[in-house]
Structure 1
Amino acid sequence: MHAFIEMVAADVKPIALSEPMDPKMVDKLWEEVMTMAENAGVGVFREPELIQTSLFPSSVASGKEVLIFHKENSLAAYLDLKSDLSKLDPEAAARRFGRLLGYPSHYINHLLSKNTDFQSLPDFGIQATNIFLYYKDLANASDFYGSLLGLEKVTDYAFAKTFRISTDAYLTLVDEAVGRHKADEPKTVAIALLTDQLPEWYAYLLEKNVPIKYTYKPKTDNAHDGFVAIDPEGYLLEFETFKQHPENELLMPQLKKFEALPTTNPSIAAGLGFYGAVFWTYYEDLQEADIFYKEKVGLPLIVDQGWAKVYQASQTGYIGLVDERRGMHNFTEKKGSSIAFIMQDLEGWYAYVQAQTPFTLHREWYEGADKRYQAFVGIDTGGYFLEFNSFNPHPDNEAFLKLLLPEWKFY
């Protein structure tokens, strides 16, 4: 029990629970446990009736006692929850208990999925992330991303072309004449292309006369460095390096797992591609969006900058939520882009969304031309379209399907 006591003493966990024990065993251990806890400045509460929530099976402590290690206010919070329990929604009660135990939202989601019918997006297998961008001149945009940036084109549907940014992060360029958005809608999104070769990319883009919105000004102690370029029709591309820094301590090991994809031509920025992508989105109410992506979509938070939060959505693909008061864009009602997730079990996720309505559906299930893919579309709290896809065997998908990884799991 030393570990539990230490975690409470260090404020890692507001409360910690011992394993359920027979009351006679608690009697036997009580004096020793009290001494350890007092030496650490931690209290011990002997709980004969642990609250029952959806976090754990109802029988987990039946007929047994649990020791609750705590500080003063944390015990009061637990007793308040116990008093309020009958008035609370079961999921809300479980989440409140989970937070008292110091669990992050994605772990609470995991426990709920084991003990209830709650599920979230990762339970259905995310294979990749994608972002849809919309153009008046699709050929010119395709030339920019393919020939100038050197991204590999993996599908070409004539009206839409998909390029690979990193191992499992993609972008799709769409002809506005047939797409879900128009090219003149506000481009309230930015794409961070993750690279450790900022000087090389900056020099290359200047040489190619690509417009630069924010210049490259590296700083020693920053959590990240970068610069922002503008694509042919105004989308912002942030060439970015995350650095070892307290706010990036969970992100850095994940970034190191994957090498940068080489550009399709070694003459393009010395053949230096990207090892990840963040799709930045902008909100009036960041807290509301944060709860939505943590609890409804179910993505794990991997970077918290306060005014910007980054969620891992695939192995190299991330969703970044930004407070519009601090970001490169202000909030807009319309958005000239859609965020997409390529799914292992799209049918299962669709059935769950229909039954549980974690978000509003914009478009029900549909199939693409020649049954190349199937999809449905939801809407997040800021009005961004979230498209969920799966792709079928088809000559147009042959290269793409070979690249898709098995579903990503963080449990």
Structure 2
Amino acid sequence: MPEAAPTLPEIVATNAFYYYQDVEGAWAFYTEILGFATVADYGFAKILRVGPTSYLTLVDETEGMHSSEEPKSVTLAVISEEVEGWWDYLNGLGVEMRAGLGNEEGIVEEGRPHDGFVAIDPEGYLLEFERFNPHPENEALLPVLNAVEPLYPDGRETAPGVVSTRPEGLGVHGTVLWLYYKDLEAIQDFYRAALGVDILVDQGWAKVYPASLTGFLGFVDGERGLHQATEEKGVTVSFFTSELETWFEHLEGVEGFEFRTPEITPEGSFVQTFVGYDPEGYFLEWDEFQEVDLNRTLLRALAGDPGSG
């Protein structure tokens, strides 16, 4: 009999690091307008909770691994049942848009596998607000999304002194982090081996895979998507875990994974981490957060506390 594949530790949450010239301005946008709660503030970097097991970290480019000038070859899709409400809210505030909701007349047509629109953050990162509809294409994804309570605003501060204007009825079920590739087949083989996962949604030139419970990765043909595949990429994809050493040992044996850091290293007193590259150059980081005061709210959120963002 063939030897069974090892069971990999849980990815507690997905995260993306975005890099800014004006990180304070970006923080204001994401907390005041989008209503994403700050769960850790390290000064140069702020971790925001987007969905139940999805996070976004805003980084001052002068202290991060990327420059804000690098191509922003990533799109964060916010999965929500209330796409029309998000559109009315953000469009009403004058948030810059890349693509509107519905057809040319603004009508959301029935029978489509997904509906959504694309907004632009203050420094050019794309944000897609997307609903996956009942459709054969989504039959594996929808039960996963429906098994977890969405994250809605709770009226509390999203940053010190900040209460968001986001309406309380606009929720987040999860996120898809869309990444753009030259070789779509090869990159799927890599992530199957690296994360031990298999496809949930096949859109032809875009594929969705699970990572955390409601944090998904989307692999897109760089000739067809919102971005092209680029050599440099102004994003780091990260995975929060409580079993960092096991992941490190596993990835040592994954073909196509190149370590940027040859060992697990501390960043201050608050996180242990290691970083590598996928076959087309996206930075991949695994993080295990330490039990220190700076991480108190984050650790509560990672443990499933609905009141922590």
**TM-score over 0.5 for the pair:** yes
Asked if the contact 2:195/2:211 (under 8 Å) is kept, the reply is no
Residue 359 of structure 1, CA deviation: 1.1
- Please name the residue that 2:35 is paired with: 150
Alignment counterpart, residue 368 of structure 1, candidates 260, 267, 277? 267
Higher relative contact order, chain-length normalized (CA < 8 Å, sep 6+): 2
Helix, strand or coil for the counterpart of 2:248? helix
Kindly provide the CA deviation profile for residues 177-232 of structure 1, in whole angstroms up to 9, marking residues without a partner as x. Answer: 00010001000000000111111111111121100110000221110000000000
Over the matched positions of the two proteins, sequence identity in percent amounts to 42
- Please name the residue that 1:238 is paired with: 128
**Shift in alpha-carbon separation, 1:356–1:236, aligned structure 2, 3 A:** closer
Alignment counterpart, residue 250 of structure 2, candidates 352, 356, 374? 352
State the Cα RMSD in Å.
1.6
Alignment counterpart, residue 254 of structure 1, candidates 116, 132, 144? 144
The 5-angstrom pairing of residues 8-407 of structure 1 reads 54-55=2-3, 111-113=4-6, 123-217=8-102, 218-265=108-155, 267-354=165-252, 359-364=257-262, 365-369=264-268, 371-405=269-303
AA matched with 1:146: T
CA distance in structure 2 between the aligned counterparts of 1:161 and 1:247, rounded to whole angstroms: 35
CA distance in structure 2 between the aligned counterparts of 1:276 and 1:384, rounded to whole angstroms: 22
Question: How many pairs were matched up?
Answer: 290
CA distance in structure 2 between the aligned counterparts of 1:367 and 1:392, rounded to whole angstroms: 10
**Shift in alpha-carbon separation, 1:294–1:275, aligned structure 2, 3 A:** same
Helix, strand or coil for the counterpart of 2:236? strand
Asked if the contact 1:260/1:272 (under 8 Å) is kept, the reply is no
Residue 280 of structure 1, CA deviation: 0.2
Kindly provide the CA deviation profile for residues 35-69 of structure 1, in whole angstroms up to 9, marking residues without a partner as x. Answer: xxxxxxxxxxxxxxxxx5x24xxxxxxxxxxxxxx
Kindly provide the CA deviation profile for residues 108-144 of structure 1, in whole angstroms up to 9, marking residues without a partner as x. Answer: xxx222xxxxx6xxx1221111111000000000001
Helix, strand or coil for the counterpart of 2:122? coil
Using structure 2 for the length normalisation, give the TM-score: 0.90
CA distance in structure 2 between the aligned counterparts of 1:202 and 1:356, rounded to whole angstroms: 41
Helix, strand or coil for the counterpart of 2:62? coil
- Please name the residue that 1:29 is paired with: none
- Please name the residue that 2:159 is paired with: none
Structure in which a larger fraction of residues adopt helix: 1
CA distance in structure 2 between the aligned counterparts of 1:152 and 1:141, rounded to whole angstroms: 13
Residue 260 of structure 1, CA deviation: 2.1
**Shift in alpha-carbon separation, 1:131–1:359, aligned structure 2, 3 A:** same
Query: For structure 2, which runs of at least 5 residues remain unmatched after alignment?
Result: 103-107, 156-163, 305-309
Helix, strand or coil for the counterpart of 2:5? helix
Structure having the higher Rg: 1
Helix, strand or coil for the counterpart of 1:190? strand
CA distance in structure 2 between the aligned counterparts of 1:179 and 1:156, rounded to whole angstroms: 15
